[in-house]
Structure 1
Amino acid sequence: MGTVAVSLTDAPACGFDAVNITITKVRIHASNIASDTDAGWTDIALTPARKINLLNLTNGVMETLGQTSLATGHYSQIRLVLDPNGGGSVANSVVPSGSSIERSLDTPSAAQSGIKLVNDFDVGANQRVDLVLDFDACKSVVSKGNGNYALKPVVKVVPTTLNGISGFINSALLSSHVAITAQQNGAIIAATVPNASSGEFALTRLPAGNYDVVITADDRAAGVIGAVPVAAGATMTALSTSAAPLTLPPSLQGSISGTVTLTPASATEVATVTARQVISGGPAVALRYQAADLLNGSYTLAKLPVAPIQYVSYSSTLPLIFSSAASTPSAGRYRLDATAVGYAVQTNAAVDISSVNQTGINFNLTP
């Protein structure tokens, strides 16, 4: 026999002060195609069911869900089972930023049979395996009109080793909704927010490789640190210190809005619109993204900087000094990509917000 232990962590949520889910159990099976009613499941039961605010689990903080004994062998499927709303209680909910009202978060029926995660791992005799489930609240909560919200779970199993990228953000920015992401080829791999008091941040449990770190904040230019190396071992790559924190210059900001239509229509798939720029001689980066409303397809990308990206290639010699970088499209313009699972990507190559906000930037996605 061996032992498996499961913990939960989170990336930050966009536009919410709380994202609560209530977990009843974690289930483990050897087969990646086993249904929830098949034999052979091993359960880690949370008794009583535990209501967890995912936004408390950023910067490497974890919530231990429990452990259980497992027969030695190979395992391929994990299910995270949520308690349904009902019976006068709100098991799963959100609190929008600036509000004190807890709103019910509609969960798919599959959440009660278990959010399915396919992840291969081996349990050896007298060995312990630690699994960390990364629940991406920002990508998992979508609006569905009239102030209602739905859960479309985005969960992945991440390495247990506490490695990654760390640093400090200038205290002058901490009230400006700072977000920090680790990206590869313009795709967001991990995200976090700085500590509200110290400005310290950590992008943790990253696969080894090079990452572009993107920093955004309200009324500021975006900052990008290119090709930041992350090792497989338990080491953190520092980008700044508390004595010399990262800062961003002021910038005018604009917005882009419109609708995304799925043809054929889908009641389950969520469309996402992402604003990107490509730094000349450097990487492509995503500056903002937004899931379209489930009911009407509307989206708004707000707080897009008009000023040029501030860029610096990574160096172990600190402090890192940003400078304005040319990009494609140029400053104040963004490439928009609209995506949805099962549909072809649609792109608007250059939306100009340098002098006016843009509305009616619509997409029609087809398979």
Structure 2
Amino acid sequence: MRKGNTWIQSTLAATCAALLVAACGGGGADSAATGTLRTAMTDAPSCGYDNVFVTVDRIRVNNSATASPDSGGWSELVLDQPRQIDLLDLQNGVIEELGELTLPVGRIQQVRFVLVDNATANPADIDFDPDADPTRAPNHVVFSAGGFEELKTPSGQQSGVKINVGIDVAEGQVADLLIDFDACKSVVEAGNSGNYLLKPVLTAIPRLSSGVRGTVADALLTSGAEVSISLQQDGEVIRSTAPIESADLDENGNFILAQVEPGTYDLVFTAPGFITKVVTDVVVPEGELVNLDPDSTTPVDENEIVLLPATVEGEAVGTVTNTDDVKPATFVEITQTLTEGATVLITSAQLSFETFDSGGVMTGVGDTAGYSFTLPVDAPEVAPYTATGVFNFNADTGVEGEYTVMGVAEPVDLTPVVQTAAASFDPAFVGTVDAPREVITNDFDFSSSPAP
């Protein structure tokens, strides 16, 4: 079970982990003027883990977007002690303050986020998470099914993970910037070796107070199912939770998705074995936390979201091939386009082509990575947003069993390459959630596209 946070304090990104960067300074051109860089973290959680522990050593900043790790012009915020943080504690709006750094007035264009190296770190120097086992590696993942694995950090130690930003340090003013650490995409299984890599996926976003809060029915939580909740636009997840059990919410099943830009979103609820539920056209005003459940304190709650068990499920399976020597980060995603036009993401996973020996040493990079998704064939339940929080859900039978499977290759700093295929289950198919399941197979080949 994951450690619980009170829901009002805590965000999935699904929330992502986020590094808050706040620059303070003046409007003058005097090169001697200084400002302050304030740093913190929050999380866009992971998938299928109880804990994702990372240990932060320092944060480096530079006014040049092209400066190499060894060139001049770097300023560093070095923590008093490398600090171990559980990214899955940083949910429902929680951020981890890391410290402040005095900088000359100017424009920061590059940030490097540096983690300790498991192989060289001295445990005596580390400020361990109070709920972690200090005999384990500073960076490691704990599985919901039991057990743990070291997270190898090939790109996160010496030079740090690079993030291109644009932060103006202006004298006497404060500018905040939040860096999302997407744990879902950052923890990668290394082929079939049983080893796991931490390949940090970081994104710079404004620090915002707007978002959405609501309640999931207790009946779903006590069934043992794990529900994922996300705010989406055109099938792109903007903010989400990791798969949630009751330990991740308070006793009333409350959730919160914070740090969201003002705009209109689809709120999507998914859980294995349950019918997808979508609240469309949720308008989030600037600086406002929209409450979907204003009646959450009453004995009889009409506003909580109740997910119903799926009666029939199918499977989308396949392999992804890339014979190039260097392979970009690759994902497989399943989306569904509703009758009223909105496209929502149902499930996704990052694939790994790397192979390792029993000692964790990389032995090669394979050409194929398999994927498999179990999907509800039942029609999704959809309702437009209402300010009262009482939603009139109806089954969208027009898209029952109809999905799109996407293979997505995302080379660094290049436009992602997307391949799509239909996954349409036979409406006449008869089965149960256990068996038989209809299976649809789609394969993708990204060899030489995009170029490494």
Same-fold call, TM > 0.5?
yes
Partner of 2:395: 324
The match for 1:254 is 314
In structure 2, what is the Cα distance between the partners aligned to 1:110 and 1:180?
Answer: 29
Instruction: Write the distance in 2 (CA, Å) between the matches of 1:86 and 1:180.
Output: 36
C-alpha distance in 2 between matches for 1:51 and 1:300: 33
Q: Report the Cα distance in structure 2 between the residues aligned to 1:38 and 1:336, rounded to whole angstroms.
A: 44
* Residue-by-residue CA offset, 1:214-248 (whole Å, 9 max, x unaligned): 11113210111111112222x11122242331111
Q: CA deviation at 1:272?
A: 0.7
CA contact (8 A) 1:94 1:104 kept: yes
Is structure 2 residue 66 aligned with structure 1 residue 33?
yes
Matched, 1:272 2:305: no
Query: How do 1:171-182 and structure 2 match up within 5 A?
Result: 171-174=218-221, 175-182=224-231
Question: How far is the alpha carbon of 1:286 from its aligned partner?
Answer: 0.8
Equivalent position SS for 2:328: coil
- What's 2:114 paired with? 81
Q: 1:113 is matched with which residue? A: 159
Task: Quote the Cα distance in structure 1 between the aligned partners of 2:335 and 2:157.
Answer: 32
Q: 1:288 maps to which residue?
A: 347
Pairs aligned (count): 361
2:439 maps to: 358
Report matched runs for 1:341-356 at 5 Å.
Answer: 341-342=410-411, 344-352=417-425, 355=431, 356=437
Q: List per-residue Cα deviations over 1:157-182 (Å, max 9, x = no partner).
A: 22222211111111112231111111
> Aligned runs of 1:13-162 on 2, under 5 Å?
13-87=46-120, 90-99=137-146, 101-109=147-155, 111-144=157-190, 145-162=192-209
Deviation at 1:110, TM superposition (A): 5.1
Which residues of structure 1 form unaligned runs of 5+?
A: none
Deviation at 1:97, TM superposition (A): 1.6
Q: Structure 2 stretches of 5 or more lacking a match?
A: 1-33, 122-135, 355-367, 432-436
Distance 1:109 1:288 in 2: 27
Letter aligned with residue 220 of structure 2: L
Aligned mates of 2:96, 2:226 — CA distance in 1: 24
- Give the aligned residue type for 1:217: A
8 Å Cα contact 1:142-1:294 kept in structure 2: no
Q: Summarize the alignment of residues 294-333 of structure 1 with structure 2, pairs less than 5 Å apart.
A: 294-295=353-354, 296-302=368-374, 304-327=375-398, 330-333=399-402
Q: What is the 5 A alignment of 1:168-207?
A: 168-174=215-221, 175-193=224-242, 195-196=248-249, 197-207=251-261
TM-score normalised by structure 2 residue count: 0.75
One-letter identity of the residue aligned with 1:292: L
CA-atom RMSD in angstroms: 2.0
1:163 paired to 2:210: yes
Deviation for aligned residue 1:255: 2.8
Shift, 1:360, TM fit: 4.5
